[in-house]
Amino acid sequence: MARLDRLNARVAVRRTTLVAPAELRALLARPTTEGRLEALRSFLPTTVLAPGAEGEGGTVLARAEGALRAAARAEAVRLLEDVEGAGPRRLLEAFLGLEEAEAVKAVLRGVDRGAPLDAVLAAAPASPALDEEALRAAAAAPDLGTALDALEAAGSTAAVAARAALPLRAKGGLGPVELAIDRAAHARAARACRGGGEDARLLARHLEDRADARNALTLLALAGHPPATGCWLEGGRRLAPDVLSRLAAAGPPAAAGAVAAAFGIPLAAVATPWGADRALESAVLAPLRREARRRPLSLAVPLWYLLARRAEVRRVAVLLRGAALGLAGEELLDLAEA
């Protein structure tokens, strides 16, 4: 029996519960928040806010989004428990460490900007390493130090890396802190890949894609400004650090054109920050989808599924919030898929 046949058989069943485009349209056709949540419960009956919540808007939506994150987090935990073999388990744990890093960065970014609690939580992807209570405590913190206290108390390794880089914040905003978080998470995942084998090669390739996407977003944000020394995440394969630095100094058109060419995406997709974020997310997800189809017993299957579920939580949150604000359905669908 192959290493991951039981795990991937379970993933195949769970994959059928991903919300389809037609279901998203049906959700948007409902005229009220509670009606939309009722529709969502019919698609994801075990993951969404229980019936009976009263009122429209923020509180109800925040609870629904929290339920979605909690369900995604619990699902990741179950998949980790189902992994057969120490090697694949180590690789999946390292992958989930990348998700923890994303959650910690989102929380610190929100606290630094003084963003509303619900907005901070909505930006943080679900991570088995950080439960909702820990995320909420960190997101509600009055400053970065207090937020890191809460995250470290919950056992976050990403928060430890952030703490060490916090003194650099005054020199370059949160950029040095976020880079330290990413470097620590990528280094851990790279160490897990050293054992070799098909699954390790798949994760190593995914690490390259994530490093490239991270550097692409940094490039687009910096375009037209000289980059700081050492601002790029090592390990990518598309654009070398010296090339990235030259492109950043060359200005926005050169940066956008290089990113679009490197990832094979339309130039229009990187015209806005949110569009670039979604386009690069899709570009990172696509290779895992292909590998999952080509190698149905490999680690690519749970990796692709977990990222697809994360994207679904983000997409549903955008639709629910936008519909509550009265935005048009087609406009919301375009935004969710941007």
User: At 139, which CATH number?
Assistant: 1.20.1690
Residue 55's contacts (CB-CB under 8 Å, 6 or more residues apart) are none
Cα–Cα distances in angstroms (integers) from residue 42 to residues 73, 167, 218, 306, in the given order: 20, 48, 40, 21
Number of structural domains in the chain: 3
**Judgement on whether residues 233 and 154 belong to the same structural domain of the protein:** no
User: Do 126 and 204 sit in the same domain of this protein?
Assistant: no
Q: Is there a domain that residue 76 lies in? A: no
Q: How many H helices and E strands in the chain?
A: 17, 0
Residue 229 in domain: yes
* Whether 97 and 156 share a structural domain: yes
Between CA 286 and CA 288 the distance in angstroms is: 5
Residue after which a domain boundary falls, among 194, 226, 254: 194
- Residue 104 sits in the same domain as residue 188: yes
Residue 134 CB partners (closer than 8 Å, separation 6+): 150, 151, 153, 154, 156
Looking at the structure, do residues 51 and 128 belong to the same domain, yes or no?
A: no
20 and 61 together in one domain: yes
- 245, part of any domain: yes
pLDDT confidence of residue 25: 86
| Containing structural domain, residue 168 | 83-194
Q: Is residue 163 part of a domain?
A: yes
Note whether 39 and 123 are same-domain residues. no
CB 306 within 8 A of CB 71: no
| HSE-up (13 A, CA, CB side) for residue 276 | 24
Q: Provide Rg for the chain, Cα atoms.
A: 20
Angle in degrees, 0-180, between the axes of helices 300-324 and 273-294, rounded to the nearest 10: 150
189 in Cβ contact with 207 (< 8 Å): yes
206 and 254 part of one domain: yes
Based on the domain organization, do 66 and 99 belong to the same domain?
A: no
Close Cβ partners of 314 (under 8 Å, ≥ 6 residues apart):
125
Q: State residue 185's pLDDT score.
A: 96
Shared domain for 50 and 10, answered yes or no, is yes
pTM above 0.85, yes or no: yes
**Residue 169 counted as domain residue:** yes
| Concatenated DSSP letters of 48-92 | S--TT--SSSHHHHHHHHHHHHHHHHHHHHHHHHH--SHHHHHHH
Clarify whether residues 169 and 211 are in a common domain: no
The whole-angstrom separation of Cα 302 and Cα 14 is 10
The residues pairing with 127 across neighbouring beta strands, listed in sequence order, are: 130
Domain presence at residue 310: no
Q: Which residues pair with 130 in a beta bridge?
A: 127
pLDDT at position 294: 94
Per the domain annotation, does 260 fall within a domain? yes
Given this model, what pLDDT does residue 184 score?
96
Report which of 30, 33, 29, 31 is spatially closest to residue 58, judged by C-alpha positions: 33
- Same domain membership, residue 207 and residue 163: no
| Predicted local distance difference test score (pLDDT) of residue 246 | 92
Which whole-number Å values give the CA distances from 64 to 31, 33, 53, 57, in the listed order?
A: 17, 11, 10, 11
Residue ending a domain, choose from 136, 169, 194: 194
State the pLDDT at residue 119.
Answer: 83
Q: Does residue 28 sit within a domain?
A: yes
For the chain, 338 residues long, give each residue's pLDDT as a single digit of tens.
356 788 898 898 888 888 888 888 888 888 888 888 888 888 876 665 655 444 444 578 888 888 888 888 888 998 988 888 888 999 999 999 999 999 999 999 999 999 988 888 888 888 888 888 999 999 999 999 999 999 999 999 999 999 999 998 876 689 899 999 999 999 999 999 998 899 999 999 999 999 999 999 999 998 788 777 788 999 999 999 999 999 999 989 999 999 999 999 999 999 988 889 989 999 999 999 999 999 999 999 999 999 998 888 888 888 888 888 777 666 666 655 64
